[in-house]
């Protein structure tokens, strides 16, 4: 079945498969949102069902909660967990300092809350997500619906004075209606092309009235697991300054593909 996956999906799968090696019995684990994170949840579910792994998962979105429950992971809220041992999530972009852009799936607020309530954050990604400088992927900014057009105008005005290349913004849509997050908010995507100072940008954007949170994750990620279409995996630890290489055998995990 693995032969039916595209190289990108294979890369996402092997990154997810390698990342779950960090999960130990009894842990409270933050469960990310998105296509790569979905592979991770399925891999954890396999360990729960077939190897008796006992964990409690805190999902970062309603759809992740549903998937986790479907594959047999015990789901609890962050309030119940209070603090997490680690969070595993995807990213839309990451740089050499493991700073991220997240929120392409619309769950950036819960993702950032869960990640910062964890002892460790592990990001899983295919190699295409690595960039020399953040900004090619549109930066999501979650805003409350009240006065969103004013918030959008303030965002564009603020960008003029920041070290970014572009200043256009668009309201994210879901068909003919605005996309609505799990918290009932809207998302404005900023098309910046290049972000020169990600830390400053993140701080300034969050000062704008109406802005709830932005998709820049600065100094939050500890480890990135990068997957490749041929099964190769790189594990980069920003704190230890290490780089490990591994390879995942698809044949060992054909049962994970049974639903596809």
The CATH number that applies at residue 210 is: 3.30.70.260
Say how far apart CA 61 and CA 182 lie, in whole Å: 7
Mark whether 223 and 211 lie in a shared domain.
no
State the residue range of the domain holding 233: 2-128+219-250
Shared domain check, 163 and 107: no
Helix (H, G, I), strand (E, B) or coil at 3: helix
What is the average pLDDT score of the chain? Answer: 95
On whether residue 258 sits in a domain, the answer given is no
pLDDT for 72: 98
Give the residue numbers of the binding site for substrate.
33-36, 89-92, 102-105, 129
**Active-site position among 50, 66, 80, 111:** 111
Q: Of 100, 183, 177, nearest to 142 (Cα)? A: 183
- The confidence score (pLDDT) of residue 249 equals 81
- Give pLDDT, residue 253: 53
Give the number of domains in the chain: 2
Q: What is the CATH number of the domain that holds 67?
A: 3.40.50.1360
- Known binding-site residue numbers: 33-36, 89-92, 102-105, 129
Residue 260, in any domain of the structure: no
Is 111 an active-site residue?
yes
Sign of torsion over alpha carbons 183, 185, 190, 196: negative
In whole angstroms, what is the distance from residue 44 CA to residue 55 CA?
A: 9
Considering the domain architecture, whether residues 55 and 100 belong to the same structural domain is answered as yes
The reply to whether 152 and 75 lie within a common domain is: no
Both 20 and 121 in one domain: the answer is yes
Asked if residue 144 is part of any domain, the answer here is yes
Q: Which pLDDT tens digit goes with each residue over 187-234?
A: 999 999 999 999 999 999 999 999 999 999 999 999 999 999 999 999
Confidence of residue 260 (pLDDT cuts 50, 70, 90): very low
User: What is the value of pTM for the model shown?
Assistant: 0.94
């Amino acid at each position: 079945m693995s032969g039916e996956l595209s190289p990108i999906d294979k890369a996402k799968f092997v990154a997810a498969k390698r990342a779950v090696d960090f999960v130990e019995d009894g842990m409270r684990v933050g469960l990310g949102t998105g296509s790569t994170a979905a592979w991770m949840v399925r891999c954890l579910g396999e360990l729960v069902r077939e190897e008796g792994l006992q964990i409690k998962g805190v999902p970062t979105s309603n759809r992740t909660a549903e998937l986790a429950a479907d594959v047999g992971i015990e789901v609890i809220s962050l309030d119940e967990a209070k603090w997490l041992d680690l969070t595993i999530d995807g990213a839309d972009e990451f740089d050499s300092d493991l700073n991220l852009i997240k929120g392409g799936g619309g769950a950036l607020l819960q993702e950032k809350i869960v990640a910062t309530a964890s002892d460790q954050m592990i990001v899983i990604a295919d190699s295409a997500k690595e960039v020399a400088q953040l900004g090619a992927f549109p930066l999501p900014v979650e805003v409350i619906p009240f006065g969103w057009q004013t918030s959008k105008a303030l965002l564009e005005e603020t960008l003029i004075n920041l070290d970014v290349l572009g200043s256009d913004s668009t309201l994210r849509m879901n068909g003919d209606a605005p996309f609505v997050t799990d918290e009932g908010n809207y998302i404005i995507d900023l098309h910046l092309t290049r972000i020169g100072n990600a830390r400053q940008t993140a701080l300034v954007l969050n000062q704008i009235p109406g802005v709830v949170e932005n998709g820049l994750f600065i100094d939050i990620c500890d480890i990135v697991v990068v997957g490749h279409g041929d099964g190769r995996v790189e594990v980069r630890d920003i704190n230890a300054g290490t780089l490990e290489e591994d390879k995942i055998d698809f044949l060992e995990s054909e049962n994970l593909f049974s639903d596809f």
